[in-house]
Amino acid sequence: MSTAFFVTGTDTGAGKTFTSTVLLHALRQRGLRAVGMKPIASGSEETPEGLRNEDALALQAASHPRPDYALVNPWALREPTAPEIAARIDGVEVTLPPIVAAFEQLKREADVVLVEGVGGFLAPVNAQLDQCALPRTLGLPVLVVVGLKLGCINHARMTVDAVQSRGFRVLGWIASEVEPTMLFPDDYFEALKAALPIPCLGRLPNAPGADPATLTRHLSLPDAFIPA
């Protein structure tokens, strides 16, 4: 039996990928086969192997067993902009079937599948689909990453409200220190804990270049992350 969950952020640059890599290592340190997935990734570069996205590559590197890139990132878009716009520029329409097929294959290969979103929870994927269609289609609970920066209390409350009002189960939230020069980060963190009606699962420091496997001590994972 495998389990899976969806990682969303309060906005672009909230620290979703960094947090997701630490989460993957935390799960692996519990003896679980944990793999990451970035179904849609904008801002991809052409390589001899095809389009590759930095965030998707980071998830692939943090995964064990190491999945094929095509499973990690079914939709790689060239331009580093909103996915709906990036897809239009590339002349493609992002659809769900390739994502579902890749997800089901990863579930067969791993105990836990972490699915990272792109942008915020309601970012459009195309004219018919918002980002929240991904966890809805895949049947996933949601974890929220809050980037600690000016405005994060409002963004966090709106994101959690958007998730809960659409009927999703929320596993909790994790703070990510994305701005090393932020004023009063401890006060913001305490205000977030008081304002958000979901469990806080940790606070990750700003640590550029750090091995994510060394930062797992900053997280506390509930049993919901562990397969039955």
CB under 8 Å to 67, separation ≥6 — which residues?
35, 37, 60, 106, 109, 110
Q: What are phi and psi of 200, to 5 degrees?
A: -90, 125
And the tokens for 78?
């060239």
* Euclidean distance between CA atoms 110 and 2, whole angstroms: 7
Active site residue 38: yes
Distances (CA, A) of 147 to 3, 37, 94, 194: 26, 20, 27, 16
* Catalytic hit among 16, 38, 107, 149: 38
Rounded distance between C-alpha atoms, residue 62 and residue 69, angstroms? 12
Active-site positions read 38
